[in-house]
Structure 1
Amino acid sequence: MSKNKGRKDQQWFDEKYSEGKAIVITGGRRLNFTGSLKIERFNNLESINLKKLKIAYLEISKCSQLNITNLSELTKLTSLSVSGCPKLITLNCLSNGLTSLELSGCYRLNNIDLSKFTKLQSLYLRGYQNLTTLDCSSTEKLISLKISDCVQLIKITNLPKSSKLQSLFVIDCPKLTTLDYSTNALTSLEISGCTKLKDIISLSKAPKLTSLSIIDCPNITKLDCSSNERLTELEVSDLTKLNCSNTSIKILSVNLCPNLETLDCSNNNKLVNLDISNCSKLEFLDCSNSKLPSLDINNCKFLLKEYEQDSIKSKMFKYPPDLKIIEKRITKNLIIVGRTGGGKSTLSNVITESDVFEESGSSISVTKNFQKKNFEWNGKSFNVVDTIGVGDTKLSTKKVLYKVLDGIFSIPEGISQILFVIDGRFTAEEAKIFNMLKGSIFDIFEIGILDYVTIVRTKFSNFKNKDKCEADKKQLHNENENIANIVRSCRDVIYVDNPPTNIQIIDEEDEETVITNKKIRDRSRKIILDYLDKACQVDYFRLKTWDQIRKPIAEYLESNCEDVPPELEKNKEVETLIKITESFCTIT
């Protein structure tokens, strides 16, 4: 079927059925559909009955009154998506050729027998309230399985029979007690919000695993992934014991595990960044045979004691001989925030005089997690934390919140200064982003936090000219009321220029450009660090402990994060962050 014919068929269908209560179509020589069909926002629709059509892709969404759907004679159907139909009770679909099935926000839907879908490769179930047991015995060709917000789900059975399963996500299924994911093909596993799940099958049965996330599963306190040599990404919370030795993890943060007592991440020559800042109960650490350049143990009293008594012969604290140990110190902590692609990571590199933060001008965030680096300036210690960029909407509300918390807990002393980065004029878009951050991050510290916020204006070529900087600042105060109020509310505006130095060098002109740009960045660094040396406050702002806020956060997310239209997802995320963080913060 041509694209033009497909559009005409869809247009005819919408005009004929969008206002009706029932759709009844039987295909034939004079009436037939091929290719794809979308049934979206048919607000009066109560029933669908489609027969003998050659549809391959069918999407039904946001039909609030839909009750019954019969697709039993759509033999050509390969992909079916039904979402946002809260009154749907009955769904008949017997297509043997179905390879993709998505059921989301259909809260009253009766159980579906998967035994008919022997060719199913992708299955996504969200908000399936009546689902108690998921039997995967017939889904031997399943490659991807995602289950979310199925609050009555108790167990998933026969999953190992899906020998081709590569990706498994089980999120917010609080009654789930049994999960056997052992399959040789599995590469990605995420388990989150499964509060009754007490144990997981040995990870040795998933030798190809590269990504593992176990968050907000408080009954899973021990994890051993030492047999997963290919593992490169690991996210965990609530653990007391973790063995991730012999893996290929590059960056590891365990700040959501404040009760962690034992950590083995040895024999990993890929590991270059380990953050244990919030692990004050850590008694045993083995990070020997790794590539770690430095390690902050300032908040780990047991490790500090071991290091001070006999660091070389210690059996409780093992580390590479050339590792730089960061002990007790007074540190000024900087949080870098701003728009995706707006120069946050570049500023972080300039401030720390390094290249550890990945720079990109793309609208897609390359910073997927908090990144932190310590450095010294004029004899004073600083930490820089580069956050995920605002505008990267691929992450869920819960994921964003936990990444924010992970970063904040990486500086248990608290925050000294927040730098809001803009890479040009303070536009309406920048103002919108600032207000989002104010609601979702800045306001978590309640009274007076804006006194700790500095706007950093990058790409300002006249940054060395004080008169030009003051003129621009004055102009900002005379902008529209929204922008002017933002500028007035913050501590100050600092001007810098951070031109790229990671350009490809082809000739001498390129070499000269790099040298010139480095000098400009050095000058920018001095300006901003001289400012921060004076501006950073004595007091810190910080959250309460993870143990204090984990349960209320989970309860809030469970009761307030229902399905929402995609166009409202950003606002929902901000609203969630605002309401949660306002409740759980203190000033010290």
Structure 2
Amino acid sequence: MGNKYSYPVYFEGGRGRLSKEQKKTIRSYFQSKPKSGGGKCSPVEEVSENIYRIAFRRREDQQAVLQRSEHIVQLGEDSLMLTVKESLLVFRSAQKKIRPNQVQESKRIVLLGKTGSGKSSLANIILGEDLFTVDHSSVSGTATCQSETRDVSDRKITLVDTPGLFDTERSEEDLKPEIMKCITECAPGIHAFLIVLKVERFSEQEQAVISRICEYFSEDALKHTVVVFTFGNELDEGMKIEKFIRENQKLRGLVNRCGGRCHVFDNKYWNNNTLQNDYRSNHFQREELLKTIDKLTVERNGQCYTNDMLQAVEREIQREEEQIRQSSPEDLSPEEIRNQAKRQVGNRFLIELAGVGTGALLGALFGVETLVRVVTMAVTQISQTKNIV
């Protein structure tokens, strides 16, 4: 399908799986402007159980189809009513039952990279608001781990912007609280890691950052990872990011280990929203990135990346939430209760894990098996001690 069909529409397929011929008929219907309002579109593809996707070449055709929430397609003697939406997550949200006092789950995305890579600017581009502090000096603009949740293109997204967790010059004292906050923000799991790198000539320092990432990331974590480049304006005229990657062996190896998933943004020059279909447009690249993350979620059957440590931290957060609900005289919202619980659990674990190095914490977060076991045992012991007391 490539980049020709950039504007998706999702629909439920009725009872039973659609046959090949039925898919062709539905595509013909959406290609007919008099019938559906649509136009040139991709073949119908199944993305989840009973949920299908078709994408249009022009946004105007997509929007015309979406103006009618329901379409009726004749399939031989039978007719099929299609409920259409712009986002797959609308259907998923409708299918999920949310327990009382449970915060509706958003898609948790973690931005990782060295200081000055443009993580905060990228976070603002993705969420469409200036929520993260951007510092254009050589000093990191993100001194502490920051998390923000917003609705983006019918998706509920939580972005976790981290300080330079992979900076080789950061001290253990600086890094450990930020790693612990990242762990509590991301429990019980992460839908996507974004490794953020600048488009630039890779010095020994940049190569060292990539080596460090490869050292700490498990293969399972890399299956949920996308490499995102910033400062795309530095690409030569007419060059795409794939060609830039091919010219650096270590970079090419990292992207290959991430399933070839990569995107490029520019923090300054690509903000012209009138060029929505242009490769050098942040709007276009954002929609492509979100589609990549959607595809990751579908391929994993909706399951996020997790491990024993993240699940152990989540159990402790839930216990803390219950205590807050029982003891607090205030009428707190589920979000407020959740945030209080994360802060208290994070602070407690930070004290008790004083003897665990930052390397072990990073390796446990990203799924290095031996380090997950070490940190999980420590977390479990902390929980047991607290319960006894």
Q: TM-score, normalised by structure 1?
A: 0.34
Higher share in helix: 2
